[in-house]
Amino acid sequence: MNSDLRLIDTFGRLHTDLRISVTDRCNIRCFYCMPNENVVFKAREELLTFEEIERFVRVVARLGVSKLRLTGGEPLVRRELDQLVARLVQVPGIDDIALTTNGILLAEQAAALRTAGLKRLNISLDALDPEMFRRIARRDGLEQVLAGIAEAQRVGFDKIKLNAVAIRGLTESQILPLGRFARERGLELRFIEFMPLDAEQHWTDEQVLSGSDILNRLAEAFGPLEPITPGHPGQPASDYRFIDGGGLVGFINPVSQPFCESCNRLRLTAEGQVRNCLFSQEEWDARTLLRNGGSDDELEQLVRSSVSAKRAGHGINTAEFYRPERAMFQIGG
Ligand code: SAM
Ligand code: SF4
């Protein structure tokens, strides 16, 4: 691609990743993300169609975006998601498509997604104890998630990661069972710090269970881990490997060790708003352009405006921090 077209912000950060939310709906109600009851979802016609998403991706791919992640809400509740994957794998310049899912509907969709060209999966799993799963998700579903993981392994995804949100005072008991589960199945495990993006706004910094605490517990139980040099710039996780060959563990520590300095991500919400950060207060309306005859150049300018306005960091630990109005499920995690 022409390097003059690249999306570089005022801090010199190059943007090559796009997270696309395909729905704000979900089949469970994790307390760190959604309200438990009476959730107001966007009407179907407000969501971008697959054609609109593809057009947006074609525009940003010309500007150097090469990696996509589909997310939500729960992306697998959007019907025929494999058809979106099949469209996006064909866009010139896109060389990597991944999906983040809670895994509940994965057993029935894994094969179709794999056939459509999806290579990488992140499956969220915070607890292996059914009671703890229910406390967090406020719905049942552990068995389906485990079946989804097994099926995803069976159909041969290149890479499957397990994502666990770590919450101090709640999920400590799950760390070792998750470690054992991942080691036994050859899955990479990632712990994510709880961020202030819960719809019910109950987050406090005391609930953040930091990566270093978890690392110590894993090392005590399974033996030492050693750090791995990051595979590419902008990689938010600090990755470690068990020195006994038992696999990889990553830590995404947006609160205790923000990685804003090397952030290379943009986001497109399910209803077609561009965001330059999870914690952005502002959105850029791509849907209106997509639906009202906007040109590719206009879409490009919109994306450039968003990139230019990106702040240095989220500032969670500062007095100036203020939460975005939208919660995680409405932005796309
Ligand atoms: N529904 C899918 C899932 O849960 O994997 C995709 C969307 S979800 C919003 C994406 C990821 O964000 C999940 O791994 C979830 O655990 C994580 N997440 C949600 N709310 C969070 C929060 N407040 N802090 C940290 N991670 C969060
Ligand atoms: Fe649903 Fe994912 Fe949010 Fe949990 S984290 S409520 S699975 S969107």
Task: Going residue by residue through the chain, which has 333 residues, state the pLDDT in tens, using 9 for 90 and above.
Answer: 677 899 999 999 999 999 999 999 999 999 999 999 999 999 999 999 999 999 999 999 999 999 999 999 999 999 999 999 999 999 999 999 999 999 999 999 999 999 999 999 999 999 999 999 999 999 999 999 999 999 999 999 989 999 999 999 999 999 999 999 999 999 999 999 998 888 888 899 899 998 888 999 999 999 999 999 876 666 777 899 999 999 999 999 888 888 888 899 999 999 999 999 998 889 999 999 999 999 999 999 999 999 999 998 887 877 777 787 888 899 888
Q: Among the residues of the chain, which ranges form H helices?
A: 50-61, 81-88, 106-116, 130-137, 142-155, 175-185, 211-222, 286-291, 296-308, 328-331
CA–centroid distance, residue 221 to ligand 2 (Å): 29
Give the residue extent of every domain in the chain.
3-331
149, HSE (Cβ side, Cα atoms, 13 Å) = 23
User: Which residue minimizes the CA distance to atom 4 of ligand 2?
Assistant: 30
Phi, psi of 178 (to 5 degrees): -65, -40
Longest Cα pair distance anywhere in the chain, in angstroms? 59
Q: Which residue out of 24, 69, 76, 100 has the highest number of ligand 1 atoms within 8 Å of its CB and is therefore the one to mutate?
A: 100
Which burial class, exposed, middle or buried, applies to 223 when counting CB atoms under 10 A from its CB (0-12, 13-18, 19+)? exposed
CATH class held by domain 3-331: alpha beta
In the block, which residue shows the tokens 């959007």?
A: 78
Give residue 73's Cα distance to chain centre.
Answer: 10
User: Which residue minimizes the CA distance to atom 8 of ligand 1?
Assistant: 333
